[in-house]
Structure 1
Amino acid sequence: MKILLINPNTTEALTELLTGAARKVLPEGVTLDCITATTGVPYISTRTEAVLGGLSVLEILAERHHKYDGAIVAAFGDPGLGAARELFDIPVVGLAEAGMLTACMLGGQFSIVTFAQALGPWYRECVDWHRLGARCASIRMLDGEFHSISDVQEEKADLLVDLTMRAVDEDGADVIVLAGAPLSGLAEQVRDRIPVPIVDCAAAALRQAVTLAALRPVGASRGGFARPAAKPSIGLSDALAARIARADRA
């Protein structure tokens, strides 16, 4: 089995964090390949940036999907996830979706804890898109700036633990979801300091992708995620244009 992890952010250090967290739960016999977007922004934190990241996801999948059994959109907020499910028949898992659904299997309500205020509105929309609003106790975000996106978990670990405790004590969270690619791997480091389960989204997404690939689901031919009708396009990569035009036959 082969799984493709796509980081829609352009920061290679974030891909390394995601890869490290995912590989710790990689089953025997499964190959994980990881790729970083070459266009877009260093880290996605707004709706506009998510649209750019989503296009990168689609272009990368268009070029590589036929080589893999499943794929992961490795940015919290899941940019391009719905579109990827329309266009490609392999299972595609979102970082946020996997983290939240895993949390739902560990408790009644979860709280999302993240490192920047700017992420809050987009993350709330992501929760609602996945129809998980009733299970989300809160979204907690740190105030203040950080020095480096690749080192934010080291810089803010203690503050994130404090924020997590507020989500548990004040919001009634049964489970904590650490949100954002920069926080990949942090759950393992701080779980002994948190009195409820804490989910690493990269690890959860990897295991969810492996499970779905093993189930070998058939792509939708009807319904909300059926592949769209053929249509011409301008200015897209050759592979994505062919997929949209239904000329690739794969």
Structure 2
Amino acid sequence: MKILLLNPNSSELVTDTLRQAVEPLQTTMLHIDVKHCNNTPKGIVSCFDELKASVEVIDFLLEAEADYDGAIIGCFADPGLRAAREMIRIPVTGLYESSSVFAKLQGRRYSIIASGNEADISPWIGSIRDLGDMEQVASIRYMNSTVEDAVHASDDEICELIRICRKEDGADAVILGCAAFAGRGRRLSELAGISVIDGIEESVLLTKMLTEYGGGKSCITKN
């Protein structure tokens, strides 16, 4: 099976982080290619960024779909996810949607830790509403950093926010809501004593499942 993990932003640093995160998941039966868009910002932090990235994601996937069995949109805004499911023949998943599925299996409410700050709330509210998760989200906590700076955030910094999410906000699970945190979920789960989800393994598992099940394909017939 061959899966494309597409980073909708243009950051080489974040793309390398994603590539390192999927390396332990590669097997003789599963190959994951990690690529990024070129004509997008280095971080998807606004509704405008999300809209611009969505167009780039769809164009990229239309060009690449013949070479893959499934695709993952490697950004927690899930830019272009619903449009991709209309236009792309292979199954397509997104980091946030996949993370929320697993978070809700592990508790009643989850929190999100994101890069950026409170000014970036608008895209998150839209994504949460799209999934129907307004009552399930306990809180959104911010690192007050750019997307690329979040790559270098220490485990201690993130664990402190996880502690707040758990003790003050009542979260049963925590989603690391930025691709810059890719690959940290299992380690931080052990450190913090609560389920911490970074979306990478979860997206790969769901993409594999949809591919093997034969679902998740385009709902529009293309000539």
TM-score by length of 1: 0.82
Q: Which has the larger radius of gyration?
A: 1
Structure 1 residues 219 and 46 mapped into 2: Cα distance closer, same or farther (>3 Å)? same
Does the residue aligned with 1:51 lie in a helix, a strand or coil?
A: helix
- 1:193-217 CA-to-partner distances (Å, cap 9, x unmatched) read 2121111212211111111111112
Measured against aligned partners, the alpha-carbon deviations of 1:195-244 in whole angstroms (never above 9, x if no partner) come to: 21111212211111111111112735xxxxx327xxxxxxxxxxxxxxxx
Please report how far the alpha carbon of residue 35 of structure 1 lies from its aligned counterpart in structure 2 after TM superposition. 1.1
- Mapped contact 2:15–2:36 kept (Cα < 8 A): yes
> How big is the shift at 1:163?
1.2
Q: Deviations over 1:123-149 (max 9, x none)?
A: 121111111222211111134x45xx4
- Where does structure 1 differ by over 6 angstroms across 4 or more consecutive aligned residues? none
1:84 and 2:77 are equivalent in the alignment? no
Separation (CA, whole Å) in 1 of partners of 2:182 and 2:149: 11
Partner of 1:232: none
C-alpha distance in 2, partners of 1:218/1:133? 24
Q: Distance in 2 between the 1:177 and 1:155 partners?
A: 15
Residue 211 of structure 1 is matched in structure 2 by 209
CA contact (8 A) 1:92 1:209 kept: yes
Match of 1:174 in 2: 172
RMSD: 1.9
Equivalence map 1:1-250=2 (5 Å): 1-117=1-117, 118-143=119-144, 145=145, 149-217=147-215, 219=217, 226-227=219-220, 246=222, 249=223
Which segments of 5 or more consecutive residues in structure 1 lack a partner in the other structure? 221-225, 229-245
Q: Check conservation: 1:26, 1:206, Cα contact below 8 A.
A: no
CA distance in 2, matches of 1:75, 1:13: 14
What is the identity, as a one-letter code, of the residue corresponding to 1:160? I
Q: Compute the displacement of 1:38 (Å).
A: 1.0
8 Å Cα contact 2:4-2:70 kept in structure 1 = yes
Amino acid aligned to 2:161 = L
Classify 1:157/1:22 alpha carbon distance in 2 versus 1 (closer, same or farther; 3 Å).
same
Check whether the contact 2:42–2:148 (CA below 8 A) recurs between aligned residues.
no
- Percent of counterpart pairs with the same letter? 27
Secondary structure class of the residue paired with 1:138: strand
Tell me the distance in 1 between the aligned counterparts of 2:188 and 2:26.
Answer: 21
Which residue identity lines up with residue 168 of structure 2 in the other structure? E
The size of the alignment, in residue pairs, is: 222
Distance change (3 Å), C-alpha of 1:227 and 1:138: same
- Partners of 2:13 and 2:142 lie apart in 1 by 22
Contact 1:24–1:203 (8 Å) recurs in 2: no
Report deviation, 1:28.
4.4
